[in-house]
Chains A and B, each alone.
Chain A
């Protein structure tokens, strides 16, 4: 029966292609940003590169969410007085989901990293060393966050448990401590004003070191707009480390879950890997990003590219298991990562990770056995992870 055979083949093709979703990223043209440079007088920051998903459906959704947030904050030079990352010294890298204003970031910096930040003064303690903080769910309260009507692109504010002390936003923390800051909002933190101001929230990098080569990676749209942020820090011998702060979606809708085969975090994770690879190629002057070009001359084989930049990725991957697909991919792409200790970081779930890849001919590497969980959550709903590089 010819028709039966045709139905069989058509079915096979339809089912096979039903849930294939692109994750590839492309660099946005110079000067384009989110929100648009002319919105709210936001200046075009040419030191900031944007990557966005190639799929037009993702771009459309991201553009709608983008109109609800304020511009990125770039303050790439820390205050004077920090000694820099001397060759042979250790650099602490921390990943922590603050849960908006719930996490006591000033307390964390004081007690875990040895930098006391008072009103208008800061004081490094004896156990202080240079550090990089990879932050998720940081909030910013500002006039530049636009007034917009309530709607599906405005998520409700984070449900923070009350804690002692004031809610201090990420910009004020950076100013009080004299840290360099790179903050890119992903979404609004509620439609209404909180404590006299409108708020947005997103990922950030804070450091005692100057930040350069700033990159914002808009992830494929699944449930909410997410933006990963990346920057580069250097030590005194010009060894560079790219640091990336990541926050993936918890879950997409049931319909999307079924039609994409539960690819939410896998797709967003692969997009980050793709954008980092594109970045390497662009920095290396390789214009053609075809598969062959990608593998030459930076790949020893088709699987393991030889990256120039040492890279550390930290963030809230929103996983319920250390065996999830996205985690398997990251351990493969970041083969020098510290082994997971099996400890949960949010309730019973291991959501937060630090991944590491030593660059081609790079000197800096992880200090052995330095990876640990910070047991005190400092009032956030997540615990932080910390690792030392030398």
Chain B
């Protein structure tokens, strides 16, 4: 089996993500954490926003423009949240990179399976599946909760509304996953903010009556 350049690049990226995650020492507010957090947040937000909006936007007049708009907004939310997270908690960014690495590996493995069963699914698609996996993996918990909630809502609408088609139900589930993943970046930065507030030294002043 010939392995294409796209798959080699994916494997190299996975290794880089995992190594970056394991070799970095926790340090609050470093440049690496800010830039790394912002970059991963940007990528994850844009990718999740794009994936989540594909089906709902295909039902609008704007179509691809709608997908692009949501991708941009989601990317900017991810960038801001990731940058802020890196500024406050480098460990959280390291965890996100580790998750992205695992997501990339799992996604690529799923892509290889799909290549065997889906017609015209090539190595570039395997790499794309891996990259989507990385975006999900960097915010896995939120994406999982969002997907579960989206699936319940989508299936509920499918059973309740006759004109609501099964692809729409799938669209709601995927949109839930994307929303959950993007929200997870915001929630983590908010939690880091709260933690930094409570961790600050408290100065107590005493007035001693003489």
**A residues at B contact (CB < 8 Å):** 4, 7-8, 11-12, 15-16, 18-21, 223, 253-255, 257-258, 260-263, 266-267, 320-321, 323-326, 328-329, 332
Contact = CB atoms under 8 A, between A and B. Distances in A.
B59 A253 contact: no
B90 to A, nearest CB: 18
Give the contact-size bracket for chain B: 35 or more
Given A15-B46, A255-B124, A328 B61 contact: yes
B28 interface: no
B122 A253 contact: yes
A255 B111 CA distance: 12
A37 to B, nearest CB: 31
B76 A12 contact: yes
Nearest to B118: A254
Q: What 3 A-B pairs are tightest by C-beta distance, nearest first? A: A261-B67, A325-B63, A263-B64
Interface of B: 38, 42, 46-47, 50-51, 54, 57-68, 71-72, 75-76, 79, 83, 120-122, 124-125, 127-129, 132, 165, 167-168
Given A254-B125, A255-B127, A320-B165, A261 B50 contact: yes
A332 B62 CA distance: 13
Given A255-B124, A262-B67, A325-B58, A11 B129 contact: no
Contacts of B46: 15
Given A254-B129, A258-B128, A15 B58 contact: no
B128 A255 contact: yes
Given A260-B64, A261-B67, A325-B58, 20 more contacts: A11-B79, A12-B72, A15-B68, A16-B68, A19-B71, A21-B64, A253-B124, A254-B121, A258-B47, A258-B51, A261-B50, A261-B54, A262-B54, A262-B64, A263-B64, A266-B64, A320-B165, A321-B165, A326-B63, A329-B61
B192 to A, nearest CB: 18
Nearest to A253: B125
